[in-house]
Structure 1
Amino acid sequence: MEGPGIGSVSVAALLLVLVAGSDGMAGPAKESWGYVDVRQGAHMFWWLYYSEAANSSEVPLVMWLQGGPGGSSCGFGNFEEIGPLDRNLKPRETTWVKAASVLFVDNPVGTGFSYTDTEDSLTKDVAMVAADMMVLLKHFFSNKTEFQTVPFYIFSESYGGKMAAAISLELIKAIGARQIKCKFAGVALGDSWISPLDSVLTWGPYLYSTSLLDDSGLAEVTAAAEQVRTAVATGQYVKATELWSYLEGVIEQNTDGVNFYNILDQNGDDTVKSTKGQGFLSLLMQRHIQPLHGESLDQLMNGEIREKLKIIPENVTWGGQAQAVFSSMAGDFMKPVVDIVDKLLDAGVNVTVYNGQLDLIVDTIGQQNWVRNLTWPGIRDFTKMKWTALDDPESQGQTVAFYKTYKNFAFYWILKAGHMIPSDQGQTALRMLRMVTQQE
């Protein structure tokens, strides 16, 4: 069912258009977008780019899920990372549309151009997120029947990975029950918040090993991290989220405001330097949602893009409910979903983990810890394997990543990249996409 704001535009007639770059050259060959009512009062926005590849009917379909929760896939993922145009509406050389058709979804409801009629309709946890996505995917594949037989992958970033894991598990159930017709081929978890505690407990050692903490700072960070561990162990997840925010403040104070998304990047003047007088959710919003809603991107989405789409309700502002989305999910932040990854692997789903070397918020050490503790029978043999180096095709002999694959599990270590890998290492991310989707 189409959501409010579409008016007389039917699914069959949804705007299929040519996008012109500023140089007059054609952008993506074909695209479409729309709303789906996933529940009463909950309206989810999606945006599809058909692949530019010559054999576009044979290449996979990739759904991209942003993090936050509250970060917009249709905004940030599209114009800052992998879409055909950048935020200046210039063609992106490393767009994933070269190798796949790409479906961006503003997820959960309330994110980006998605919206709810009241805050009571916002999601509370990944189970609700997954249930909403099943409604959207059923609608999508029922109306875009050409994608029912091509490989379908879910790629994600940050909290999007946590949601992607839950969505993938529900998707294989829905496919088995013949509720959704698609060829699900795998899920890729990028710098993903799969095991929050493993990330939190390794922040200190990681920063210390990179000379961003001294002995005194390490002791303070370790003590704060242990408080988070205690809260999680006793099931006090909202308290754990509050303590997580406090821990980040301790890190900022001891590192002169390290950038949580790339430890080699300098934070701007708006870095959170003090926690006085601010609630923990407000602080977390500043650190982890506001970077996805920069002023220039906000102007683009609420200006030219809104005018182009023509279906956004007058009372909906891109990103207007982001803070409410983030707050609504507060009790879910520190809950792990490692068990879901185990279930996916046991079910034979292809699972890929990829992580940036310079990411702090989801550091690679923490990722390796939860991976090492999977109960999936193949993890022991995977752990014993040596990784393989990937060379930079533009600089012979220059290693840009390492990877290893065993049965239906793969891990990619992306060098010189932070949390937003496609932004930091676009060519490497595009090559990884081709490898994961078995195009090379």
Structure 2
Amino acid sequence: MGRTEAASCVLFLLAVIVNKGLSSPLAGKETWNYVEVRNGAHMFWWLYYADSQTAQYKDLPLVMWLQGGPGGSGSGFGNFEEIGPLDRDLKPRKTSWVQAANLLFVDNPVGTGFSYAERPDGYATNVATVASDMLVLLQHFFTERAEFQSIPFYIFSESYGGKMAAAISMELTKAIAQGKVKCNFAGVALGDSWISPLGQYQSLFTPILQPLSLLDDNGLNDVSSAAKAVKEAVEQEQFQKATELWSVMETVVEQNTNGVNFYNILTQQPDEKLTSSAGEDFISLQARRHIRPLHSQSLSELMNGPIRKKLGIIPQNVTWGGQAEAVFSYMSGDFMKPVVDIVDQLLSAGVNVTVYNGQLDLIVDTMGQEMWVKRLKWDGLSGFNNLKWTALDDPVSPGVTGAFCKNYKNFAFYWILKAGHMIPSDQGPMALQMMKMITQQV
């Protein structure tokens, strides 16, 4: 048995042990804590030290993972469903990123996962506050864990987590230059990220849904009409209204496609159709659409049961995921605002930026990502556009293409085949290989 498998088995045994009343970090392997980022606003973080057969943890990068939503939990979904050392059944994950990186899961914004707000003013309402809160957490983390100050630090993200990651990366870059945070920030990776909401829906209908026989002409007219209303609201900077209209438009898409799965275009919604019920507001509907898949009943039982007991620091009145809908509600006015300009600023500042996207994603389709990338003002864009992409073998099927990539100066793009919105859960080996490439391990 290798060291990674052995460590994972120890973690599994620890999870069993804590059910009998013991709850403490596994020395040298993982640790966790809270940081009060504002008065009454508490953020939870969970660190796994890298466990490699060939390198010490100090010789491997630190990767912070940010989930989407907003309101989706990295400590839960990202950890147990995507890249953590154990899966939802507490069995070792063969494609865990912990074998090649130290993993830091942070439940953000405040109120997500095990993070919590004591009162309404503790919630964030925009990405500027999200970034400010994360800066406080990172200041605490790198001060208390000084051994990580010189280790290359990367931010990886998924979905709305990418929007937050862009803003956080910009503020972190400034803070490092000002000497406020000591860390070796090496880059940000934006996975299936909500960078340009309007751009996503401009690419969604004719190029994608209709050619796949998911919309007929009548359906296309219905969806296009709903999308036009969203576009007009965004252009008028009525962003709260745009979020509400976006919810309406998704309902129109579902009705005309018989419930296409926004996270994987080749499948249908796994549960009951998520069209709105009488009296249900758009916040509740969107929470059901885009947060509930990250907080399944089985995952919730795990997090509020054995994991809660293991952690031993969760306040009695806090439940994992209990404030998720409130998180989305408070952020809804910021939801449809683009952050393409922030990505431009990151590139101009010399920050390494990677975009990666799943071929089968619908909510953040690859064509929409390419649209906003082509509008960047970055001076290296023409050089990037002139490159041909490189095919990458699937790690488990040599000779079979698993992805394509382009890399120019400090910008890279990965097209991940046969993957939807949650790339690590859909194509674990390819996602692990990509992470190693981005962190310059291969």
What's the TM-score once normalised by structure 2's chain length? Answer: 0.93
Partner of 1:80: 81
Please state if 1:311 is matched with 2:300: no
- SS of the aligned residue for 1:156 comes to strand
Q: Report the secondary structure of 1:19's partner residue.
A: helix
- Give the AA of the match of 2:433: R
In the alignment, the residues of structure 2 paired with residue 149 and residue 252 of structure 1 have an alpha-carbon distance, to the nearest angstrom, of 48
| 2:215 matches 1:216 | no
Q: Distance in 2 between matches of 1:303 and 1:255?
A: 38
Distance (whole Å) between structure 1 residues aligned to residue 27 and residue 194 of structure 2: 32
Quote the Cα distance in structure 1 between the aligned partners of 2:412 and 2:149: 25
The aligned counterpart of 1:228 is 230
Structure-2 residue corresponding to 1:163 = 164
Aligned to 1:279: 281
Identify the match of residue 432 of structure 1 among 421, 427, 434: 434
* Alpha-carbon separation, structure 2, partners of 1:23 and 1:102: 19
Other-structure match for 2:337: 335
Partner of 2:197: 196
Q: 2:260 aligns with which of 237, 258, 269?
A: 258
Distance 2:351 2:296 in 1: 36
Partner of 2:5: none
Q: 1:250 to 1:149 in 2, by over 3 A?
A: same
CA contact (8 A) 2:420 2:426 kept: yes
Count of aligned residue pairs for this structure pair: 422
CA distance 1:23–1:250, change in 2 (3 Å)? closer
- 281, 287, 290: which one aligns with 1:288: 290
What secondary structure is seen at the aligned counterpart in 1 of 2:363? coil
Shift of 1:208: 1.3
Distance 1:210 1:333 in 2: 28
Deviation track 1:81-124 (CA, whole Å, cap 9, x = no partner) reads 00000000000000000110000000011000000110221000
Q: Is the 8 A contact 2:15 2:310 kept in 1?
A: no
Cα RMSD (Å):
1.6
Using the size of structure 1 for normalisation, the TM-score is: 0.94
Partner of 1:91: 92
Aligned pairs (5 A) from 1:17-416: 19-21=11-13, 30-53=29-52, 54-55=54-55, 56-205=57-206, 206-416=208-418
CA distance in 2, matches of 1:310, 1:180: 29
Partner SS, residue 437 of structure 2: helix
Alpha-carbon distance in 1 for matches of 2:168, 2:430: 26
Instruction: Quickly say closer, same or farther: Cα 1:22–1:218, change in 2 above 3 A.
Output: farther
Provide the secondary structure at the position in 1 that maps to 2:356. Answer: strand
Instruction: List per-residue Cα deviations over 1:163-197 (Å, max 9, x = no partner).
Output: 00000000011001101000000000000000000
Change (3 A) 1:28 1:254: farther
Q: Please give the secondary structure, in 2, of the residue aligned with 1:411.
A: strand
Please report how far the alpha carbon of residue 383 of structure 1 lies from its aligned counterpart in structure 2 after TM superposition.
1.1
Q: CA deviation at 1:425?
A: 0.1
Which amino acid in 2 is paired with 1:313? P
**1:234-292 deviations in Å (ceiling 9; x for gaps):** 01000100110010001000100000001123323323134543211111111001111
Counterparts of 1:73 and 1:395, CA distance in 2:
29
Cα distance, 1:23 vs. partner?
12
**Displacement of 1:222 after TM fit?**
1.2
One-letter amino acid matched to 1:328: Y
Distance 1:157 1:260 in 2: 14
For 2:395 and 2:294, the matched residues in 1 are separated by 30
Aligned partner of residue 210 in structure 2, secondary structure: helix
1:133-183 deviation per Cα after TM superposition (whole angstroms, max 9, x unaligned): 000000000010110001000000000000000000000110011010000
Q: Secondary structure at the match of 1:235?
A: coil
Query: Is the CA contact 1:68–1:288 (under 8 Å) kept in the aligned structure 2?
Result: yes
Unaligned runs of 5+ in 2: 1-8, 17-25
How far, CA to CA, are the matches of 2:189 and 2:211 in structure 1? 28
Q: Which secondary structure does the structure 2 equivalent of 1:324 belong to? A: helix
Within 2, Cα distance between the matches of 1:21 and 1:270? 36
C-alpha distance in 2, partners of 1:149/1:336?
32
1:88–1:129: structure 2 CA closer, same or farther, 3 Å change rule?
A: same
Q: Which deviates further from its counterpart, 378-387 or 31-40?
A: 378-387
Whole-angstrom distance in 2 between the partners of 1:340 and 1:22: 42
Matched residue, 2:3: none
Q: Which amino acid aligns with 2:270?
A: G
In the alignment, the residues of structure 2 paired with residue 358 and residue 394 of structure 1 have an alpha-carbon distance, to the nearest angstrom, of: 20
